[in-house]
Amino acid sequence: MQDPLATKMMAVEVSGLGADDVTFHPMMIGGSFGRRLPMYMEIVGQVTKLAMQLPYPVKLIWSREEEVAQGAYRPQSSAALKASLTKEKLISAYRNDYAQPESAESETVFPYTLPAVSRRHFAHVSNQQTGAWRSVNSTQQGFYNESFMDELAHAAGEDPVVFRRNHLKAGSRHLRVLDEVAARSGWGSPLPAGTGRGVALVESFRTIVAHVIEASVGEDGMPKVHKVTTVVDAGSIVNPDAAMAQIEGGIIMGLSSAIGESITLENGAVQQSNLADYPLLKMAGAPLVMDIHFLNSGADMGGIGEPGVPPAAPALANALFAATGKRVRNLPILMQAKA
C-alpha cells in the first residue's frame, strides 16, 4: 500500500473495531502509481471482512479479468485550446479549457512565459470509478499543451524548438533542458524519408523532462518509435541507476498508453478483459534506442518515478506530424488507425 496509516484507518472503519484492535502489516510493492492508495483499493474492505471471519491468514487475489473489468480507471479528459499570434510569431494570448473530474491547477505547471494565459477547469461527472494514474494530471495537460505548442509553431512558420525557446525565460532550467535535448538529439539534422522528429517539454513533480522522439508509420498504419532522446532536470540525482530505470519505464508506459491502451464501454460494461484485447506495448514495438541524460542543476530535488511519462505522448504525436503531416489529437492512436 502507498499509505499504510490511511489503509489501517479504512480497515478500522470497515471492521467497526477500535484503532488499537487493528494491526496492518504493510508489504513492499512496486508499480502502484496511485492505484494502491486506500481510496482506490476495494480489496481493503474485502480482506478486512474476511479476516474477521477466519482464524487463519488468507491470500485474496483479483484475477486479471476482474481487475480489468472492475478496477479504477484513468479519468476521462478533453480540452479545447485557443491562442493568438503576433506578427513577430509570438503568442500573445493562450487559453486551455479542459473538462475532467478534478482540477489540475494545483498540480500542473505551464512553463512558458506569455502575456496572457487562461486555464479553466470544467467538472466532468462520470459514472465510472476513476483513480490516480502515473503522473496524474500532468500526462493529460502535457499532451494538450505540448501538442498545441507544436501546432502554434507550425502556424507561425517556426521550428518547434525555436518557437518554444522564444517563450521560455532566459537562463531558466526549462530552457537549459530544451537546449540540451535539442543538441543531443541532433535536432534539425536529416532523417530518412517518412521519419519525423517531435519534441515535448513538461514539468511535473518539480522535475523537468524533455523528449525528442524519432518515429515513422509502418505499413499497418501504426507508429514505430526508432529513438527517444531525453534530458531530465530533477535537481540532484542520488541513485543514477534507479533514476535511469524510472525514466526508461516512464517512456515505455507513456508510449504504450499513447499507442494502444484503451478501455471501452458497451451498455455500461467494460469490453476488455485481458492482454489479448488490452494491447500493451511489446518489446518489438519499443524504441530501438533510448538515450537519457540527467542534469544535476542543484535545484530542489524533484520526483523521478512519474515525470518520464507526460512528454512521451506529445513528442510522439509531434513526430508523427513531422513524418506524415497528420495531427494526432485523440489517444490512443490505435483507435484512430482502426476508425
Residues 185-206 pLDDT 10s: 999 999 999 999 999 999 999 9
Note the pLDDT of residue 1.
65
Distance CA 17, CA 88 (A): 68
Q: Helix (H, G, I), strand (E, B), or coil: what is residue 204?
A: strand
Note the pLDDT of residue 222.
87
Q: How confident is the model at residue 27 (pLDDT cuts 50, 70, 90)?
A: confident
Q: Is residue 39 over pLDDT 80?
A: no
Q: Is residue 338 over pLDDT 70?
A: no
Work out how many domains the chain is built from and give that number.
Answer: 2
Please report, rounded to a whole number, the percentage of residues in the chain having pLDDT higher than 70: 97
Note the pLDDT of residue 219.
86
Q: What is the mean pLDDT of residues 236-255?
A: 97
Note the pLDDT of residue 242.
96
Together in a domain, 55 and 85: no
Residue keyed to cell 493529460: 140
Question: Any bridge partners for residue 290, and if so which?
Answer: 228
Together in a domain, 248 and 316: yes
Distance CA 81, CA 22 (A): 50
Together in a domain, 171 and 232: yes
Q: What is the mean pLDDT of residues 47-70?
A: 90
Q: What is the CATH number of the domain that holds 280?
A: 3.30.365.10
What is the pTM (predicted TM-score) of this model? 0.93
Least confident stretch, 68-72, 94-98, 172-176, 319-323: 68-72
Residue 68 lies in a domain: no
Together in a domain, 237 and 334: yes
Pick the most confident of 41-45, 100-104, 177-181: 177-181
Whether the CB-CB separation of 312 and 256 falls below 8 Å is answered with no
pLDDT in tens, 106-157: 999 999 999 999 999 999 988 888 888 899 999 999 999 999 999 999 999 9
Note the pLDDT of residue 85.
98
Q: What is the mean pLDDT of residues 52-74?
A: 89
Q: Is residue 251 over pLDDT 80?
A: yes
Residue 4: asked if its preceding bond is cis (omega within 30°), the reply is no
Note the pLDDT of residue 53.
95
With residue 171 as reference, give the H or E element that holds it: none
Q: Edge to edge, what strands does the sheet with 91-100 contain?
A: 78-85, 91-100, 117-123
Q: Is residue 220 over pLDDT 90?
A: no
Note the pLDDT of residue 31.
63
Nearest to 333 by CA among 323, 320, 111, 322: 320
Note the pLDDT of residue 204.
97
Together in a domain, 96 and 55: no
Residue 70 lies in a domain: no
Which of 61, 90, 105 corresponds to the end of one domain?
Answer: 61
Range of the domain at 9: 4-61
Distance CA 290, CA 248 (A): 7
Together in a domain, 49 and 84: no
Note the pLDDT of residue 126.
84
Q: Is residue 77 over pLDDT 90?
A: yes
